[in-house]
Amino acid sequence: MGDLNEARILIVDDELANVRLLERLLQQTGYRNLVTTTDPRQVRGLYDELHPDLILLDLMMPHLDGVAVMGELAIPAEAYVPILVLTADVTMAAKQRALAAGAKDFLTKPFDRIEVLLRIKNLLDTRFLYLELERQNR
C-alpha cells in the first residue's frame, strides 16, 4: 500500500489565500508532496509532469473554470485519479456539473477542516487500493 504522506497532491485555486490554507492544513497533517497553482491554465502541464494521486480543484476560476480544467485533463475513468472539487457555489446544478465532468467528490467552501482531511484520506485510500489491485492483476 502507498504511504498516504507520500501522496502527490495538486492544489488548484485562483485565490492564493485558499491555496495557502489547504497547503498548511495538509502539511500539518503530514502530507509532503504538494504542488500548487493559482492559474488553472497550468494544470494540464503540472498534471503531466506530476502524475498526482489527488487533485483539489476550485470550481469558480477565471480563464478556465474547474469543469473546463477537468475537460482538458480528460482523465480516463480506469485511471482513478480522484478530483475533489471545492466550491463556494452550493447549488445542485454546480454539484451535478462537477460530478458529470469527472469529480469524485465535492466540498462547499468554507469547508470544515476535519471533513476536508477525511475526504482526502478516503479518496487517497481508494486510489492506493486501486493501484495495488492493478499491480496484482499485472
Q: What CATH number does residue 29 fall under?
A: 3.40.50.2300
What pLDDT does 122 receive?
95
pLDDT at 82: 94
Range of the domain at 75: 4-133
> pLDDT band at 110, cuts 50/70/90?
confident
- Is 13 within a domain? yes
Is the pLDDT at 63 greater than 80, yes or no?
A: no
- What average pLDDT does this structure show over 64-85? 88
Residue 52 falls inside a structural domain:
yes
pLDDT digits (tens, 9 = 90+) for 23-62: 999 999 999 999 999 999 999 999 999 999 999 998 887 7
Inter-CA distances, 134 with 79, 127, 138, Å: 10, 10, 6
Name the percent of the chain lying above pLDDT 70.
99
131 exposure class (CB count in 10 Å sphere: 0-12, 13-18, 19+): middle
Whether 138 maps to a domain, the answer reads: no
What string of DSSP letters covers 9-48?
A: EEEE-S-HHHHHHHHHHHHHHT--EEEEES-GGGHHHHHH
Rounded mean pLDDT, 56-77: 85
Q: Report the alpha-carbon distance of residue 119 to residue 105 in Å, rounded.
A: 8
pLDDT top residue among 28 and 101: 28
Q: Is 10 among the domain residues? A: yes
Q: What is the mean pLDDT of residues 94-117?
A: 88
Q: Is residue 33 one of the residues assigned to a domain? A: yes
Quote the percentage of the chain above a pLDDT of 90.
59
* Number of folded domains that form the chain: 1
Residue 2's pLDDT is 58
